[in-house]
Structure 1
Amino acid sequence: MAEIKSTMDLVMERMAKMTANSETVNNDEEFEKAGMRLAADFLSGKVTDLAGELAQQPAESQKAVYKGAADILMRNITLPRDEEVKDRAEASLNGVMELAGALGVSAVSQTCSELQQILQQYNQHKEQVVQQLEEALRGQLEQQYAAQGVDPGQLRASMHPKYGEEMGKMQQDLNGQYLQAMDQRKELILEQLGLV
């Protein structure tokens, strides 16, 4: 009977350890969610001092809170399709700088500058590539019309049968290049912050 009791005690001890471990995971998840909420409030303008809000969190939860905040900020650094997305990405970069300041990590500023430069160059590069594609397609149309003896009049590249297909390929290639460069910088920032 003593063996059964000791086996039962072992099972109970294991259950207690598993419960303690799962509580720690749940607490970390809750703290990460709190950090996510703070970052979302920062991006929406409800919180103006992200670093101050994060510093008010309990010491044992700060890494998880910072990790959650960094996650939301990184998700919002995206290719600028329009002014609203561009503004949100810039606000996210400012939030990352506040996080870095709160953690005392100065190396992040260089990487954030690189990310900001990538975001600024994206629209310029996109406009250049679109213009080059349109000029090339317009040239092809002019040659076709001239060969047929037809006056090209006011040609638009969008009249070319391959315009949509070529534009899609161009956009996909361009986005792929820029997203890869951005993802590398984002990963580096997380490493520099010690949140990976």
Structure 2
Amino acid sequence: MAEIKSALEIAMEKAEKIGKASTEEMSRLEAMDRGRRLAARFLKEKELNLEEEIKKVPPQEIHVLLEGLEEVFLRNIFLPRDQDSLTHTISRALEGLRLIKGPQASRILQEIERLLLGYLQMKSDLYQRFRQQFQSNMAGLEQAIAQQYGLSGPIDPEALPQFQEEWQKVEADLKERFQQQLNQLKAALLTL
């Protein structure tokens, strides 16, 4: 079974190929990796006090550790599939960014929250409208199927492959529009 390598191990291998990494480069890579691991722990463990953990880091490593934290938190802010992913992983990543970025990031983080909630709401509304429209266009199809197969009663449009294909196209367009806005907000966070 192949081993999964951490970013630090991969970077170390690259450094060996290029030449020996300086001790400064090595400590930078280690601090970055420590930040990434701390962010992963913060996302999983509700009781972890991130501020206390950061205080334990030597002052010369804080900046690089914060870069590692920020990288993981930003990667865990994505367009949610459903309300659960928004309330668990994404909310925790936003909370982590709020802690490491401070009050100057609160406006952007609030915009991200509004964008993600708006995305879920628009996706739900769009799905309902799409389903109703598809169902109203199916009236003739229901009659043809009933005559051909001797079935009666309404057909669930979601069970039809054509419905799924068309919905995926509509959903992809919606995702693209919201993803562009989310990427802009994430880029704005990086400048702080």
Decide: shared fold, TM above 0.5. Answer: yes
List alignment gaps of at least 5 residues for structure 2. Answer: 1-17
SS in 1 for 2:22: helix
CA displacement, residues 27-49 of structure 1 (integer Å, 9 cap, x when unaligned):
21110111111111111117622
How many Å separate the matches in 1 of 2:146 and 2:43? Answer: 59
> Against the structure 1 CA distance between its residues 22 and 148, is the aligned structure 2 distance closer, same or farther, given a 3 Å change threshold?
closer
Using the TM superposition, give the Cα deviation of residue 169 of structure 1 relative to its aligned residue in structure 2, in angstroms. 0.4
In structure 2, the residue matched to 1:119 is: 116
Asked which structure has the greater CA Rg, the reply is 1
TM-score, L = length of structure 1? 0.75
Mean Cα deviation higher: 65-74 or 150-159: 150-159
State the Cα distance separating 1:153 from its structure 2 match.
3.5
Query: Which residue of the partner structure matches residue 61 of structure 1?
Result: 61
Cα RMSD of the aligned pairs, angstroms, is 2.8
Q: Where does residue 71 of structure 1 map in the other structure?
A: 71
Q: Sequence identity, in percent?
A: 25
Q: Give the match's secondary structure for 1:36.
A: helix
CA contact (8 A) 1:111 1:188 kept: yes
8 A contact 1:76–1:89 mirrored in 2: yes
- In the other structure, the counterpart of 1:50 is 50
Is 2:125 the counterpart of 1:128?
A: yes
- Deviating beyond 4 angstroms after TM superposition, the runs of 4 or more aligned structure 1 residues are 18-21, 143-152
TM superposition shift of 1:26: 2.1
* Structure 1: stretches of 5+ with no match in the other structure: 1-17
- For the 8 Å contact 1:142–1:152, the answer to whether it is kept is no
Deviation at 1:94, TM superposition (A): 0.6
Partner of 1:14: none
Q: CA deviation at 1:77?
A: 1.2
- The one-letter code matched in structure 2 to 1:137 is F
